[in-house]
Amino acid sequence: METEKVITYSAIGVAAIIILIFLLDLVVGIFGQYIAMDVLFILGGAFLLWQGVETILELR
């Protein structure tokens, strides 16, 4: 597997973990009641996930 694909898949995995953690925090409130921070991290993770998917499609 090419290095570019490995790095991109790793970034997609990290973005998915970030989205899941902060979505769970938004629902349950593990780290506190910082709703704005949770939403911004979810949006940032979604943007990174979208960019990763677009990059994988471009590398094909």
In this predicted structure, what is the pLDDT of residue 55?
Answer: 96
In this predicted structure, what is the pLDDT of residue 1?
Answer: 76
Q: How far apart are CA 18 and CA 1, in angstroms?
A: 25
How confident is residue 41, by pLDDT bands cut at 50, 70 and 90? very high
- Could you report the per-residue pLDDT of 22-33, keeping only the tens digit for each? 999 999 988 788
Question: Which residues, 6 or more positions from 29, have their beta carbon under 8 angstroms from its beta carbon?
Answer: none
Across 2-26, average pLDDT: 95
In this predicted structure, what is the pLDDT of residue 60?
Answer: 86
Q: Where do the structural domains in the chain lie, given as residue ranges?
A: 3-59
